Amino acid sequence: MSQDNDKHDAGADGSGPRPAEDGGPQAKEATAGPPADGGKQDGPPAAAAAANEAVEALERRVPNLRKTGGVYVPPFKLARMMQDLQDQASPEYQRLTWEALKKSINGIVNKINTANIKSLLAEVFRENLVRGRGLFCRSLMKSQLASPSFSPVYSALVAVVNTKFPELGELLLHRLCLQFMRSYKRNDKPVCTAAARFLAHLINQGVAHEVLALEILILMLERPSGDSVEMACEFVKEVGAFLQDVAPQGLHSVFERFRAVLHEGDIEKRSQFVIEGLFAVRKAGFEASGFKAVAPELDLVDAEDQITHELSLDDNHDPQVGLDVFKVDPEYEQHEREYKAISREILGEESEDEEKGEGEEGTEEEDTEEAEENARKGQEAAAIEDATQTNLVNLRRTIYLTIMSSLDFEEAGHKLMKIGIQPGQEIEMVTMVIECCSQERTYKRFYGFLAQRF
């Protein structure tokens, strides 16, 4: 028993030989030794044995490779280690690529700003955002918490990525809503203010619906305190210009609540002055006071291309924290090839085979350009004029369905403004509003307010 204890103690402090399951010398002797019956040897093939030796050599150079957040490995050494591993499906190679992906995403997020955001978008899409969507959201939230003034820049980046990967924008919103609710319940003002500011700019960019902004304001002003009133005022300054355009009635209700809190006088003088300053900003105009919804240099996505997520604070928000942790992917090579194809499609790049074919087909393209131009001229000459007014009927149907499906006149007006009526078709809008109103049994104020809106 004493000898066994001595062996156990020797292995525990690291001075003795490692156990067989850790890949130490004993493991080599157990696997490389001759078979017990002295006959056939059922060991692994030579290729597998060479791969195992390479992995063991790699683990000896980086002892804590299997641990999260291991020692720092210089980039040149990391590249050399990745070359040593020939099997790209091995867990060790996947972990190395995971660490490289994490460093690359953190580097891009840390150096992005208003001046270089357009040039860095290509680098962002070259990284595997499907595999590293958890890392991307985590890096954004940490950087924004450290520098809340960069919230408009990070929101613009998320707005662009959200058009191609909506699940990434939705994951970020779930995490931010969860962080906001937790910090609000814990009275953690810095974290709560940063999360609210990030959500405000995501709402300005159209990534989140404006109803989320109204829910946040209702929550803050339900039981007003000094901190909650100040946070609500700052939130309104960030998102007020956007709400003024899309939900003026909701913004009016929020300011009525501010007015009631101010008249009650239950909060301290400092908070009362903050509310009065907010009313002054509203009177002068949010954009005139320097609180624009989206800066021109950060307006990178068209409204019709943006995908808006309708989330609520009361939803069951799943942060999917498992996406932040490395996991072995059995189909790693296939997923990497699929994302490279997606990345080339987004960036407009062509594969290597297509680039080689360009040189061979260059002369053919020159010959076909003239034929295409002639065909285009022929099509323009033989343009068919539509006398059935199909487009006009479709426009009237769209206007009618939009009016009938709207809850109030503000929503109807907002949706009708986005239809994109061509010059000369404005009379169709007027005609359809009058016809819809004439179909009602009694007059509804809805149509009067809608007409006033235009």
Q: Over the stretch 350-365, which tens digit does the pLDDT of each residue have?
A: 544 444 444 444 445 5
Distance CA 235, CA 199 (A): 9
Tokens standing for 305?
């291309």
More confident residue, 128 or 43: 128
Q: What is the pLDDT of residues 427-450, one digit of tens each?
A: 888 888 888 888 888 888 888 888
Nearest to 43 by CA among 32, 54, 28: 32
Structure confidence at residue 405 (pLDDT): 80
Angle at CA of residue 281, ends 227 and 197, nearest 5°:
45
More confident residue, 194 or 409: 194
Average pLDDT over residues 83-89: 66
Structure confidence at residue 275 (pLDDT): 93
Structure confidence at residue 101 (pLDDT): 92
What sections of 289-381 are H helices per DSSP?
A: 332-347, 352-381
More confident residue, 102 or 381: 102
Angle at CA of residue 53, ends 51 and 55, nearest 5°:
70
Average pLDDT over residues 229-250: 93
Q: Which amino acid is at 373?
A: E
Tokens standing for 327?
């996991």
pLDDT at 146 over 90: yes
Q: What is the pLDDT of residues 35-58, one digit of tens each?
A: 444 444 444 455 556 555 654 555
Tokens standing for 368?
């076909």
Distance CA 80, CA 84 (A): 6
Work out the angle between the directed axes of helices 226-246 and 248-264 (0-180°, nearest 10): 150
Tokens standing for 57?
């050599």
Q: What is the pLDDT of residues 368-382, one digit of tens each?
A: 566 566 556 555 544
pLDDT at 270 over 70: yes
Handedness of CA 145, 147, 151, 156 (dihedral sign): negative
Side-chain half-sphere exposure of 392, counting CA atoms within 13 A: 11
1 pLDDT band, cuts 50/70/90, is very low
- Which range of 125-139, 300-314, 378-392, 412-426 scores highest in mean pLDDT? It is 125-139
Q: Which amino acid is at 272?
A: Q
Structure confidence at residue 123 (pLDDT): 92
Angle at CA of residue 445, ends 444 and 446, nearest 5°:
85
Structure confidence at residue 400 (pLDDT): 84
pLDDT at 260 over 70: yes
Residue the block writes with tokens 């087909």: 361
**Average pLDDT of the chain, as a whole number:** 79
Nearest to 408 by CA among 253, 256, 247, 255: 247
Q: Which range (74-83, 213-222, 279-288) has the least confidence?
A: 74-83
Structure confidence at residue 388 (pLDDT): 66
Side-chain half-sphere exposure of 107, counting CA atoms within 13 A: 8
DSSP reduced 3-state for 441: coil
Cross-strand bridge partners of residue 309: 208
Nearest to 195 by CA among 214, 210, 207, 182: 182
The gap from C-alpha 193 to its chain's centroid, in whole angstroms, comes to 20
Q: Which range (55-64, 65-74, 108-117) has the least confidence?
A: 55-64
Q: Where are the beta strands (DSSP E) in 87-187?
A: none
